[in-house]
């Protein structure tokens, strides 16, 4: 600068990056995520919606049929309605998992002898794969050699075949799915409990607040972020259930335990009806969107009020 003043030269103008750094930096940081989301989410969704308007077996030329696949789904396909009903069962059952996860987290958030070992037992379902969970429950409920029938036999009760029954197969699979889902919600709440302000707890106790009132007015409001994540993950997990159905029943007996994701897989890769499978996927996509939008409509005003 001194040399420039002595020589009478004007300081050089700042470069393009220095002049636009504040505007470009957020774009550059967000660009990789936006590109990945566009390539792996937006484009497949649009392509799936487009394919749902065609009759295509994956080999011959696609034939445009408009809304024909949707008309067949809603009017002529009873399996679609069975799968949709089962998905609603899954959704209702999975909405219980945040409450169960919270109860377990409150229990495990205690200090005592052997508590770490007890925590590891509850963590176990979260770290093992869904396929292993499905196999374990299949063996437990197996009508021929399952442990459940051995226990019933010990009490002098007749054997049962829950996975072979059209009335109970879906609920057995849901029970298997709830096991790791509750563990996941429990981990979310355990993490949230570590962030609770201890000064608020102490102040409430000094005011004589305890028990359920302490939980409802002091603890739960501070766990709202964990509750939001647990609810969204539970809804998404219920609607995209696939692997447990595939491992435990293959959608049977007589497709009574199938769900939309598994029925889509059957139609697409088993019956080679690519357009029909895309129509089922589109219905599942819109159902998931409706659940998420309802939740956001209810939660966003309260978040803004805070």
Lowest pLDDT segment from 4-8, 42-46, 70-74, 131-135: 4-8
According to the model, what pLDDT value does residue 225 have? 85
Both structure tokens of 202: 């102490």
Task: Give CA 257 to chain center in angstroms.
Answer: 19
Selection from 89, 236, 246 nearest residue 175 by Cα: 89
Selection from 108, 94, 306 nearest residue 191 by Cα: 108
Can you tell me the distance from the alpha carbon of 301 to that of 168, in angstroms, rounded to the nearest whole number?
40
According to the model, what pLDDT value does residue 169 have? 92
Share of the chain above pLDDT 90, in %: 41
> Span 227-234, mean pLDDT?
87
Contacts of residue 241, defined as CB under 8 A and 6 or more positions apart, other chains included, come to 87, 90, 173, 177, 259, 261, 262
More confident residue, 246 or 209: 246
Q: What is the pLDDT of residues 145-164, one digit of tens each?
A: 889 999 999 998 998 989 88
* Model pTM score: 0.82
Q: What is the pLDDT of residues 11-55, one digit of tens each?
A: 677 787 788 888 888 899 999 999 999 999 999 999 999 999 999
**Distances in Å between the alpha carbon of 246 and those of 106, 118, 203, 243, 284?**
34, 31, 52, 5, 18
CA dihedral (228, 233, 239, 245) in degrees, to 10, reads -150
Per the omega criterion (within 30 degrees of 0), is the bond before 253 cis?
A: yes
Can you tell me the distance from the alpha carbon of 220 to that of 102, in angstroms, rounded to the nearest whole number?
10
């Amino acid at each position: 600068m001194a040399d420039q003043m002595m020589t009478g030269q004007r300081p050089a103008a700042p470069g393009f990056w220095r002049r636009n750094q504040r505007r470009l930096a957020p774009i550059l940081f967000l660009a990789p995520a936006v590109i990945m989301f566009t390539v792996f989410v937006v484009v497949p969704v649009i392509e799936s919606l487009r394919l749902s308007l065609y009759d295509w077996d994956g080999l011959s030329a696609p034939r445009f049929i408009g809304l024909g696949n949707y008309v067949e789904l809603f009017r002529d396909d009873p399996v679609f309605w069975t799968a949709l009903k089962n998905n609603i069962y899954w959704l209702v059952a999975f909405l219980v998992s945040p409450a169960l996860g919270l109860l377990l987290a409150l229990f495990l958030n205690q200090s005592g002898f052997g508590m770490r070992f007890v925590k590891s037992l509850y963590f176990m379902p979260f770290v093992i794969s869904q396929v292993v969970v499905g196999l374990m429950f299949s063996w437990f409920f197996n009508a021929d050699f399952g442990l459940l029938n051995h226990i019933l036999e010990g009490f002098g009760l007749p054997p049962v075949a829950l996975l072979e029954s059209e009335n109970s197969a879906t609920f057995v699979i849901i029970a298997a799915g709830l096991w790791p889902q509750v563990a996941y919600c429990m981990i979310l709440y355990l993490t949230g409990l570590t962030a609770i302000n201890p000064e608020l707890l102490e102040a409430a106790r000094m005011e004589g607040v305890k028990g359920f009132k302490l939980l409802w007015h002091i603890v739960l409001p501070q766990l709202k972020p964990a509750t939001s994540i647990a609810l969204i993950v539970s809804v998404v997990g219920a609607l995209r259930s696939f692997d447990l159905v595939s491992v435990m029943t293959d959608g049977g007996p007589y497709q009574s335990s199938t769900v939309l994701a598994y029925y889509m897989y059957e139609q697409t890769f088993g019956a080679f009806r690519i357009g029909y499978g895309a129509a089922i996927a589109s219905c599942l996509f819109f159902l998931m969107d409706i659940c998420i939008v309802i939740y956001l409509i209810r939660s966003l005003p309260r978040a803004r009020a805070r």
